[in-house]
Amino acid sequence: MMEQLKVDFNKVIESLKLSEKSINSRKENFNQFVENGFPNKRAEDWKFSDLNQIISSNIENLRFHTDFEISEIDETTFIDKFAHNKIIFLNGVISKVDFSSEDDTKVLITRDLNQNENSKEVNSLVSLNNALIASYIRVTVKENYSMNEPLIIYNITTKELKSTAINLKTDIVLEKNSSLKLIDLFDDSSENNFINIVQNFDIAQDAILKNYKIDHKKNSNIKYSYNNINLEKNSISENFIFSTGSKFIKNEINCNLNDEYSSAFINGIINLTNSQHHEIKTNINHLAENTKSYQLIKSVLNENAKGIYQGKIYVDSKAQKTNGYQLSKALLLSENTEFDGKPELEIYADDVKCSHGATSGNLDEDAIFYLMSRGLSNQQSKELLINGFLLDAVEKITDIEIKDLIKNMIGITE
Beta bridge partners of 213: 184, 241
Residue 71 has pLDDT above 70, yes or no: no
The H helix count followed by the E strand count for the chain is: 7, 19
Distance (Å, rounded) from C-alpha 337 to C-alpha 359?
15
What pLDDT does 65 receive?
82
Asked if residue 185 is part of any domain, the answer here is: yes
- pLDDT band at 412; cut points 50, 70, 90: confident
Asked if residue 408 is part of any domain, the answer here is: yes
Asked if residue 288 is part of any domain, the answer here is: no
Asked if residue 343 is part of any domain, the answer here is: no
User: How does pLDDT run across 365-387, given as a tens digit for each residue?
Assistant: 899 999 999 999 999 999 999 99
Distance (Å, rounded) from C-alpha 343 to C-alpha 332?
19
**Domain boundary, last residue among 259, 291, 308:** 259
What pLDDT does 115 receive?
84
How many domains, the chain? Answer: 2
> Do 200 and 60 share a domain, yes or no?
yes
Do the Cβ atoms of 171 and 199 come closer than 8 Å? yes
Asked if residue 269 is part of any domain, the answer here is: no
261 SS3 class: coil
Do the Cβ atoms of 217 and 245 come closer than 8 Å? yes
> Do 370 and 252 share a domain, yes or no?
no
Asked if residue 322 is part of any domain, the answer here is: no
Domain range enclosing 97: 2-259
Nearest partner of 308 among 320, 297, 321, 317, judged by Cα: 297
Nearest partner of 225 among 194, 192, 198, 186, judged by Cα: 198
> Do 59 and 177 share a domain, yes or no?
yes
**Domain boundary, last residue among 259, 277, 298:** 259
Distance (Å, rounded) from C-alpha 202 to C-alpha 194?
27
User: How does pLDDT run across 292-346, given as a tens digit for each residue?
Assistant: 999 999 999 999 999 999 999 999 999 999 999 999 999 999 999 999 999 999 9
User: How does pLDDT run across 198-254, given as a tens digit for each residue?
Assistant: 999 999 999 999 999 999 999 999 999 999 999 999 999 999 999 999 999 999 999
**Domain boundary, last residue among 259, 293, 326:** 259
Task: Find the helix packing angle between 20-36 and 2-15, rounded to 10°.
Answer: 170
Nearest partner of 266 among 222, 215, 328, 217, judged by Cα: 328
> Do 240 and 373 share a domain, yes or no?
no
Distance (Å, rounded) from C-alpha 10 to C-alpha 25?
14
Phi, psi values for residue 367, rounded to 5°: -65, -40
- The radius of gyration of the chain from alpha carbons, rounded to an integer in Å, stands at 21
Do the Cβ atoms of 368 and 385 come closer than 8 Å? yes
Contacts of 20 (CB under 8 A, 6+ apart): none
